Amino acid sequence: MKRLFLAFVFTIVTVLTGCEPLKVLDPKGPQAERQAHDILISIGIMSFIVIVVFTILIYVLFKYRASKQSPDYEPPHIEGNKWVEALCVGIPVIIVTYFSFVSVQSNYIVEAKPKAYEDKEPLVIYASSSNWKWHFSYPEEDIETVNYLYIPTDRPIEFKLYSYGPITSFWIPQLGGQKYAMADMVTTLHLAADEPGEMIGRNANFSGKGFAENMFNVTAVPEKDFDKWVKDVKQTAKPLTEKKFNELLKPGHLGQMTFTGTHLDFKPAPEHNHSASGKPVDCNAEELLQKNNNQK
């Protein structure tokens, strides 16, 4: 039994050493940092509860184990203890109340523009999904990418999410939580990157046979490098036509692609936006496109 136990421990350790670090516990932005903090608090509290419960269980099993009493022994009748009952009910109520408070507070924080960037104008990106790819439209920059994101650091990013197919879920674990992209409405997600680096985003909602590879790359760079990238794209990329975009919507997987112009010109996003406050408001890309044309 000793050898079997040691072999089991060795196997577990060997397998775990091959696992990658959890992305949600390696935050690169304020929203993800808040969520990682909540996860660690939950793990700590739950670990403490498990240790206490198992300690009490071992104590009870040892103290009240079967003893060599006579066959006619009858244990004394004991009434319930009000303090024990109060603890058994009160402690779970306190734990659930605390978790509820933390969850609600964090939900309001991550749904709003990151607090450190409230005085900065957000970069608006329309992120739409199709079977099984992601389309990212930058209306202010008048460019569009497929299956990859280029974003500036130290600036709030406002994603407008929707889908040209089944419901998907937009998720960049190192920047924040996931949010649904649907066909008949736009949902808003506020994120920001505190430091440059490479990250992976994906669809976190099952959407058919191509779901497993429905991922995209995210590159966060300083704002001056982002501006240089925009300039290079405008000089080298081909324009996105309606015919080309309709081809991109066909089910299948694609590599990374870059275009000038966006599909918002001829196939705009749904008219209604589900804002972070929960209030539906009119939303489309016309104002941003007009702003971009005026800047030109």
d(CA 57, CA 147): 52
Q: What average pLDDT does this structure show over 180-206? A: 94
Instruction: Flag whether pLDDT at 281 surpasses 60.
Output: no
* Lowest-confidence segment of 68-77, 121-130, 225-234, 287-296 by average pLDDT: 287-296
pLDDT level of residue 261 (50, 70, 90 thresholds)? very high
d(CA 276, CA 238): 35
Instruction: Flag whether pLDDT at 292 surpasses 60.
Output: no
Instruction: Flag whether pLDDT at 137 surpasses 80.
Output: yes
Share above pLDDT 70 across residues of the chain, in percent, rounded to a whole number: 88
The residue type found at 56 is I
- Domain 115-295: homologous superfamily in CATH: Cupredoxins -  blue copper proteins (2.60.40.420)
* Pairwise pLDDT comparison (196 vs 8), residue with the higher score: 196
Residue 13: the pLDDT is 66
Residue 277: the pLDDT is 43
d(CA 90, CA 68): 37
pLDDT tens across 26-76, in order? 999 999 999 999 999 999 999 999 999 999 999 988 887 777 777 787 877
* Pairwise pLDDT comparison (221 vs 17), residue with the higher score: 221
d(CA 121, CA 53): 50
Q: Where are the domains of the chain?
A: 23-64+79-111, 115-295
* Residue 253, token pair as written in the block: 């997987």
Instruction: Flag whether pLDDT at 278 surpasses 50.
Output: no
**Sheet containing strand 133-138, strands side by side:** 238-239, 257-260, 143-146, 133-138, 123-130, 157-163, 186-191, 272-274, 280-282
Q: What average pLDDT does this structure show over 264-287? A: 62
* Pairwise pLDDT comparison (7 vs 109), residue with the higher score: 109
* Residue 40, token pair as written in the block: 């660690």
CB 218 within 8 A of CB 172: yes
* Pairwise pLDDT comparison (81 vs 43), residue with the higher score: 43
Q: Which residue has the tokens 């099993």?
A: 61
pLDDT tens across 41-54, in order? 999 999 999 999 99
Residue 77: the pLDDT is 81
40, with CB counted inside 10 A (0-12, 13-18, 19+), is exposed
